[in-house]
């Protein structure tokens, strides 16, 4: 049973990882589009609501479709002030209870409200009220789609936490040798401070 669940978890992880990596390219597209809009507006005094809304669509896609990817790689916002004091098994219990008590109900509520919201928009053929704007149902579709991926990733994390507690899989919260972007930034700032202090000390000695 646990082996089959862990296989399902790996499939969900692969799907969210692939979608997250694809969605990251939207950041580049959104940046180029935003820069292009600014240049065209300044150089030719021309602006397009469709292009502006396309930026918003892409931003929404990155935010919603990458939520599961962030949870997969433990890059979501979390408060480690208390959990960092406990052993891995206690943290796994805390993560599992948090997933069951908070993540699943909230995501389920959003899906319950978001699916009809999208379907009503699709049936009505909603179009932006802005002149030359885009159709709205693709943007509204991102809401249930993103939260469905997040729910699936929550299921995957719960399976891995149970597997860890049963001794069938490694700790899903452990990143191994990988460090977060925040920690990498802190380490770089420390290296720069040490280099500057060493340069000042060397200058003082020569002076």
Residues 190 and 157 in one domain: no
Are residues 170 and 182 part of one domain?
no
Q: Is the pLDDT confidence value at 54 over 60?
A: yes
175: confidence class by pLDDT, cuts 50, 70, 90: low
Computed on alpha carbons and rounded to an integer, the radius of gyration of the chain in Å comes to: 23
Q: How much is the pLDDT for 186? A: 65
Q: Render pLDDT for 59-92 as a digit per residue (tens, 0 to 9).
A: 999 989 999 998 888 876 666 556 667 777 888 8
pLDDT of residue 107: 94
Number of domains in the chain: 2
CA 35 to each of CA 6, 181, 199: distance values in angstroms, whole numbers, following the listed order:
44, 26, 40
C-alpha–C-alpha distance, residues 122 and 136, integer Å: 8
pLDDT at 168 (0 to 100): 76
Strand partners, 135: 127
Which has the closest alpha carbon to 80: 16, 175, 158?
Answer: 175
Say if residue 127 is in the same domain as residue 183: no
CB burial of residue 12 (10 Å; 0-12, 13-18, 19+): buried
- pLDDT-derived band at 165 (thresholds 50, 70, 90) equals confident
> Looking at the structure, do residues 11 and 32 belong to the same domain, yes or no?
yes
Tens of pLDDT, residues 120-158: 999 998 888 888 888 899 999 999 999 999 999 999 999
pTM of the model: 0.76
Whether 90 and 22 map to the same domain: the answer is yes
pLDDT above 70 covers a percentage of the chain that reads 88
Which structural domain range is residue 8 located in? 2-175
Residue reference for tokens 């990143």? 175
Residue 101 shares a structural domain with residue 171: yes
Does 67 share its domain with 159?
A: yes
Is residue 170 predicted with pLDDT exceeding 70? yes
Q: What's the maximum distance between 2 C-alpha atoms anywhere in the chain?
A: 78
Shared domain for 167 and 103, answered yes or no, is: yes
Same-domain check for residues 188 and 125: no
Q: Do residue 194 and residue 170 come from a single domain?
A: no
124 shares its domain with 68: yes
Are 48 and 100 contained in the same domain?
A: yes
Mean pLDDT to the nearest integer, 155-184: 75
């Amino acid at each position: 049973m646990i082996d089959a669940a862990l296989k399902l978890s790996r499939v969900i992880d692969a799907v969210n990882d692939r979608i997250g990596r694809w969605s990251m390219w939207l950041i580049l597209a959104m940046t180029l589009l935003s820069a292009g809009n600014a240049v065209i507006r300044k150089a030719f005094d021309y602006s397009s609501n469709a292009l502006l809304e396309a930026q918003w669509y892409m931003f929404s896609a990155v935010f919603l479709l990458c939520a599961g990817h962030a949870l997969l790689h433990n890059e979501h916002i979390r408060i480690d002030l208390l959990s960092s004091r406990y052993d891995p098994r206690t943290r796994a219990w805390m993560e599992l209870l948090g997933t069951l008590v908070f993540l699943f109900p909230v995501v389920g509520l959003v899906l319950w409200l978001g699916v009809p919201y999208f379907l009503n928009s699709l049936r009505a053929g909603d179009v932006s009220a802005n002149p030359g704007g885009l159709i709205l149902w693709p943007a509204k579709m991102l809401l249930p789609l993103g939260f469905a991926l997040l729910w699936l990733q929550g299921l995957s994390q719960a399976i891995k936490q149970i597997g860890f507690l049963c001794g069938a899989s490694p700790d899903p919260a452990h990143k191994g040798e990988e460090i977060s972007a925040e920690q990498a930034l802190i380490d770089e700032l420390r290296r720069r401070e040490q280099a500057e202090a060493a340069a000042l000390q060397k200058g003082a000695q020569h002076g």
